[in-house]
Amino acid sequence: MGAAKFSWKASKADGSAGGRLLEKMRQSAAPAIVPASSRDALLLLQSFEESGRGWFWSTDADGRLTYITASISEQLGMEPSAILGKHLVEIFRKNEDVEDRQRSLPFLMMRQSSFENLPLQAGGIEDEIWWSVSGSPFFDNKGNFAGFRGNGTDITSQRIAARDNDRLATYDSLTGLLNRYQMARRLEKTVAAFQVQKRACAVMLIDLDRFKQVNDTLGHPAGDALLKQVADRLVRAVGDREKIGRLGGDEFQIIMPDEDDRGALGDLADRIIRSLSQPYSIDGSRCIIGASVGIAVSPFDGQSSEDLIRSADLALYSAKGSGRGRFRFYSSDLLQAAEDRRVLEEDLRDALVNGQMWVAYQPVVAAQTNIVTGFEALIRWKHPERGNISPALFIPIAEDANLITDLGEWVLRKACQEAATWPGKMKVAVNVSPIQFASDTLPQLISSALADSGLPPGRLELEITESVFLQDGADTDKMFAELKKLGVRLALDDFGTGYSSLGYLKTAPFDKIKIDQSFVRDATQPESRNGAIISAIVALAEALGMETTAEGIESLDQLSLIRDLRVSHVQGYVYSQPVGNDVLLEKCEAGAWEIAPSGPAVQRSDRLSMYRKIGAIHDDHYYKIVLRNLSMSGALIEGIVDVPVGTRFVIDFGDGQLAVSTVVRSNGIQQGVEFEERLVSDGNGGLCTSRRVSPYMMAAAGVPITSLPPGYYDEIERPKTKKSIPAFNTVSDWKAP
């Protein structure tokens, strides 16, 4: 037969399509002569199956498999006999990725439609398999549908690669959070949709404090490990990973749809700050960082995603500029505040040279005797044009402008010089910043200041915050040892502010623990646990042979509690505000200064004194008034004459902040009002309303839109109605005292 001869030994029925077909032909009753071209095609078919580059299948009219390449059963971990007879659909997993119902395999087979390159998944989660499957219906000699025949190819590697690429385009490779691009897209879509739907959306920007120090001291791998832990803590605080993104570096962003309650947002920001400020363990090293948060809410703080981010960024800048470790809501005055801060930085550079700085001293009093035992030195700045500038404002500016070292040295030398002239053995306490503590020249500076002033070392107390413990290491221990060798006293300042550790109290040679005023505040309130915490701190200090000082005592009930808890020393307005050195010398002329405590009998809500023009709405009239002081529960307003007690006003603080209030005290042009809903902290020492109110909502509550002030609500079409006669007269001209 020449070329027609064929070796059956080389083509046993091995499960392949070609093998099965050849075996079937061999067993045929009639001798079959296979043309050379057909044999070549069958061999090519068999070779293709064996190569693993593709496979073949066929079904009967019911969709049950009548043939499938043997290698497929091996991939699925099944015997060939167990697969044959199964419905084709059963060997694939339900494909959740296919959104178009018209392309699903069951539908196509039911319609007897051809399909091409349909991506189908098989296998389990760990042994994921993807195939691209094609198939066509075939019919018998009578034209009846007989089943499907088709083929498939493995596309697992392509699918995994595509998914990985998609993940890289969506998520930050280091933390697994959404990346900057995806956060921008989500915010843009959310704000655009919510603007139409009249819904609010809040944005938080988070920036880590002191992260650069971790990178510089422990290296970038440690910094990367720290960022992963930060991401985990953010997820726990927020509760939804898909709301959080890493923008790059040490910046993070949170999107909070349908959230405009600034009380809830402030609580979340506070939780985030406290969580991120807890110590981290990186490769056996202990790290401490902090966080600052800026918050903006649409539509009040921005109609577009770009405007909203700009507002949140300004709020973050303000939070960092106010001392870090705090949050801040956006307000319309931040733009001016940012410009003021820039001008202040320029003025601060010349303040020392021009003699504008001076030192005030707050008495530290023995709690049981009321005798002053020392003073804390506090830097003050008297600006030639703006008067006294708050340290809370200019100290962060000094840190950012790299001026804190110069200011710190000046305060140290000035305090030592003036304390050397005090009678008796009263001590002076001077704050040492973390930047100063990290400098190798600090011991030499202190030694020089003591020598130049003649102050005995035992009368100088250095107040050091917990933030100097960025990492446990030999450098920190060495600095403590050198300072104690000089004979000065060491105080641990602001103890309990978020990341206190008993570990460093065992080794750091402190003489005193200063209990942060955040524990003193509210300690006398019902159900407060602060008293128990203070008691534990005192017991710890006594066991370690240390003194204690409670800061920020302002009321007599606070002082009584502090005495009962055996705190040894007290600082606060209940005894005295900071005084100048001339007043100090006058009071201590007799050698001892005994101060009788005075102040409110019980703690009350903090009242912020101010002089700020705002508005008050009554009936359909808008009155221009002055805000004299403000607390969470009420305010003192000025400018409306003889208002009866019980009169209700809507106080307009601006930026959509409207608070319903009732007059509870009235005296001439001044009224004390009580708010229907308490104000909340703005994260920066101020207060704000929990929510901002739409003028439509105010109108629905019975306040005519015509009574609302011009400017903020100009987009509202005001009804042209005749106003009633004003119920009250106003003071036409105010002058600041």
The answer on 488 and 417 residing in a single domain is: yes
Whether 650 is covered by a domain: the verdict is yes
Distance of CA 444 to the CA centre of its chain: 40
The answer on 149 and 267 residing in a single domain is: no
54-63, 165-174, 323-332, 726-735: which has the highest mean pLDDT? 54-63
Looking at residue 720, its pLDDT comes to 54
The answer on 384 and 441 residing in a single domain is: yes
Instruction: Give the tokens for residue 174.
Output: 């280091």
Looking at residue 12, its pLDDT comes to 37
CA triplet 523, 524, 530: central angle to 5 degrees?
20
Whether 342 is covered by a domain: the verdict is no
Whether 338 is covered by a domain: the verdict is no
Q: What is the pLDDT of residues 58-69, one digit of tens each?
A: 999 999 999 888
Q: Which residue is it, tokens 């969709």? A: 63
Whether 720 is covered by a domain: the verdict is no
Instruction: Give the tokens for residue 9.
Output: 């030994």
* Domains held by the chain: number: 4
In angstroms, the CA 330 to CA 317 distance is 10
The answer on 630 and 579 residing in a single domain is: no
CATH number at residue 82: 3.30.450.20
In angstroms, the CA 327 to CA 681 distance is 10
The answer on 414 and 295 residing in a single domain is: no
Q: Taking residues 620-637, what's their average pLDDT?
A: 89
Q: Tell me the whole-structure pTM to 2 decimals.
A: 0.58
Instruction: Give the tokens for residue 74.
Output: 């091996």
Confidence of residue 5 (pLDDT cuts 50, 70, 90): very low
**Full strand arrangement of the beta sheet holding 65-68:** 65-68, 55-59, 145-154, 129-139, 115-122
Looking at residue 27, its pLDDT comes to 41
Task: Identify the domain containing residue 189 by its residue range.
Answer: 171-332
In angstroms, the CA 737 to CA 735 distance is 6
In angstroms, the CA 705 to CA 689 distance is 20
- Give kind and range of the element (H or E) at residue 162: helix 156-170
In angstroms, the CA 305 to CA 255 distance is 11
According to DSSP, residue 93 is labeled: B
The answer on 129 and 64 residing in a single domain is: yes
The answer on 124 and 100 residing in a single domain is: yes
Q: Residue 672 pLDDT > 70, yes or no? A: yes
* Domain boundary pick from 132, 161, 190: 161
Q: Residue 401 pLDDT > 90, yes or no? A: no
The answer on 223 and 126 residing in a single domain is: no
Q: Do 352 and 406 touch, CB atoms closer than 8 A?
A: yes
Q: Residue type for 114, please?
A: S
Whether 488 is covered by a domain: the verdict is yes
Instruction: Give the tokens for residue 606.
Output: 């903090």
CATH number at residue 558: 3.20.20.450
In angstroms, the CA 661 to CA 623 distance is 14
The answer on 185 and 150 residing in a single domain is: no
Picking from 248, 287, 302, 292, the residue whose alpha carbon sits closest to that of residue 270 is: 292
The answer on 445 and 368 residing in a single domain is: yes
Q: What is the pLDDT of residues 444-499, one digit of tens each?
A: 999 999 999 999 999 999 999 877 765 556 777 889 999 999 999 999 987 766 44
* Domain boundary pick from 111, 135, 161: 161
Looking at residue 107, its pLDDT comes to 84
Q: Quote the mean pLDDT of the chain.
A: 82
In angstroms, the CA 661 to CA 653 distance is 12
* Domain boundary pick from 161, 196, 221: 161
The answer on 432 and 319 residing in a single domain is: no
In angstroms, the CA 45 to CA 54 distance is 10
Distance of CA 107 to the CA centre of its chain: 48
Whether 376 is covered by a domain: the verdict is yes
Q: Do 408 and 436 touch, CB atoms closer than 8 A?
A: yes
The answer on 689 and 626 residing in a single domain is: yes
Whether 69 is covered by a domain: the verdict is yes
Whether 599 is covered by a domain: the verdict is no
Q: In this prediction, what percent of the chain has a pLDDT beyond 90?
A: 38
